[in-house]
Chain A
């Protein structure tokens, strides 16, 4: 791609790279609206989006009530996870940090599971699905925050990125085991609500769900962007940051709260979507050749969105196969090679991994 030609000046290269990413987001977004079990021509889709009726009423219903919420959710979740991953990699000083890998998503699932399996479907909550969903979301955010705090405490003690990774995987197992135990004690009817959590999906999201998901994601993404300057200084480590005018503890507190909120909200609505937070920042750094958060944070949001849109297309939005796969079985194909690539690079460059 000519936009990534190293001969261009860094500023132009960065701007061009971000522009290409933004165009790709729009392109993938439109593809997801066009393709599916029913093919709807692009002109028709644009007509419907512009408020037209479309040539067939079914097209309008498919686009507006099924595909549009799905595509918007994919963009929001991908962007949120990408930003969350970039923040975590800097906060943990660890190139392998990401909400899914470090068990933050598992913590969120545990929180959500306690509410889903514990609360009564016949009680007063059952009639108020939005309130119930908010309860699940709140519990998911709390679960994510809990794992994040524990993981950070361990990361400080261990220091070694690979060890932190193992600790995160253990947290994931532990949360998963607790969910399993809960499942055995729960009524079978309630399990349905839990089934999609571990697989990850952006389908089944309604406009009323988006009324919570969209503001939460947008707010946290914007807040994260506002932290770009202190995050840049934190690349030098906490001790340096403290001597360069950063109030380290407050910045860390806000940044971790954002990550917990992002991971919790996304998990509550879409389940645990793996590896996006890990892969997106590395791809952005690799393509744009810099670690500046003023570039990496928006870039990770865009690439995260592209990855989830692509994953959803492969998993079930393409209309080529009848089978719809869980999102995680596709994202792992992107994420696992990135983890291996990072680890191999780390070894070959004597411990230096671009963060």
Chain B
């Protein structure tokens, strides 16, 4: 094994929070010890209001730590001048950028500022760095466009190119995926991954995109709602249940198999056995969970049995059996509606093993009387 790489940024027993007037301070996160390593992509995850932004502000030197310290390539961050800091660390914020009449190349050129003199005179070396930064951020074709004409994704790229023009050893991004659609998000993460791999840049970004984070991260920093801080590889934290606990809430649950969160309307814990072929199986499972059912592996454990077939033209045909009653339909939306109705009934009766319809059920049931009581056929169209 080779020696461990030297961390570019290391937080030592860091305590972050706010200083109030009168010297009183409110700590938000305490006892943070973590490192950013060259060439690594680190994601900062946590629920809103847990202190992600405060932590980032402290790490980039915009705010003083309440305790502990941040070392930037071995030197105490708050002892560095703004200019020294800017040469080693650059930041991409969510702030709207309203720079007036300026081409993307000029904007990226502003990134050279910490390296330039009073009159911003540029040498060839600086101009080459600007072109390199534009290329590295995939913004070369934007270079001559006006910044105000860009789309959100293009502006994001330009701001990253500007950050790269600072020639930093660490790049910190605050929620860079927030205003982007899914394709742009994936592109952005791929871009950061590539930058970290090819240039040895240490990248730290905060995000709510758990799925992307789990796939692309070398390291996760987790901030819990109660102020605890954890760090580790994405797989370790997922297996250990840390990610699940970070986002603990009544409406969502973590799907270990898929590595992402699922949103349940209500979790009723109703056992259902599914027979379907891949790739439909994955989506049927999701649909079933969304309706509040629990897929189980063995038929014997299940009260409901669901069979899904691929019909022609990609439409799914499903058939649901429950102790003699059967119900079928087309499309997973109908399935979810049907299941949700069952789940509601089960829940309202407070007796999951009942096999008779509750008296008022007939009154609220749509189109009551058109079918025999006891079947739920009309719940699907």
Chain B at the A interface: SS class: loop
Give the chain A neighbours of B166 by CB distance below 8 A. Answer: 244
Q: Is A182 an interface residue (CB 8 A)?
A: no
Give the chain B neighbours of A228 by CB distance below 8 A. Answer: 119-120
Q: Is B357 an interface residue (CB 8 A)?
A: no
Nearest-Cβ distance from residue B12 to partner chain A, whole angstroms: 22
Q: Is B380 an interface residue (CB 8 A)?
A: no
A355 touches B106 (CB 8 A): no
Q: Is B101 an interface residue (CB 8 A)?
A: yes
Chain A at the B interface: SS class: loop
Q: Is B110 an interface residue (CB 8 A)?
A: yes
Q: Is B36 an interface residue (CB 8 A)?
A: no
Q: Which of A192-246 contact B (CB under 8 A)?
A: 226, 228-229, 232-233, 235-237, 239-240, 242-246
Task: Identify the stretch in A20-28, A53-61, A72-80, A284-292 within 8 Å (CB) of chain B at 4 or more residues.
Answer: A284-292
B82 touches A236 (CB 8 A): no
A292 to B166, CA, bound (A): 19
B106 touches A244 (CB 8 A): no
Q: Is B62 an interface residue (CB 8 A)?
A: yes
B114 touches A290 (CB 8 A): no
Give the chain B neighbours of A352 by CB distance below 8 A. Answer: 98, 148
Q: Which of B75-116 contact A (CB under 8 A)?
A: 81-83, 85-87, 89-91, 93, 95, 97-102, 106, 110-111, 113-114, 116
What's the tally of chain A residues with a CB closer than 8 Å to chain B? 29
Q: Is A294 an interface residue (CB 8 A)?
A: yes
A237 touches B101 (CB 8 A): no
Give the chain B neighbours of A349 by CB distance below 8 A. Answer: 148
Q: Is B273 an interface residue (CB 8 A)?
A: no
Nearest-Cβ distance from residue A235 to partner chain B, whole angstroms: 5
Q: Is A118 an interface residue (CB 8 A)?
A: no
25 contacts between A and B (CB under 8 A): A93-B98, A229-B116, A229-B119, A232-B120, A236-B97, A236-B110, A239-B62, A239-B93, A242-B62, A243-B61, A243-B91, A244-B114, A244-B166, A245-B83, A245-B113, A246-B82, A248-B82, A285-B100, A290-B101, A291-B99, A294-B119, A294-B120, A349-B148, A353-B98, A353-B100
Closest 9 A/B residue pairs (Cβ): A291-B100, A245-B114, A245-B86, A355-B100, A245-B83, A243-B91, A354-B100, A354-B101, A352-B148
Residues in chain A within 8 A of chain B (CB atoms): 93, 226, 228-229, 232-233, 235-237, 239-240, 242-248, 285, 289-292, 294, 349, 352-355
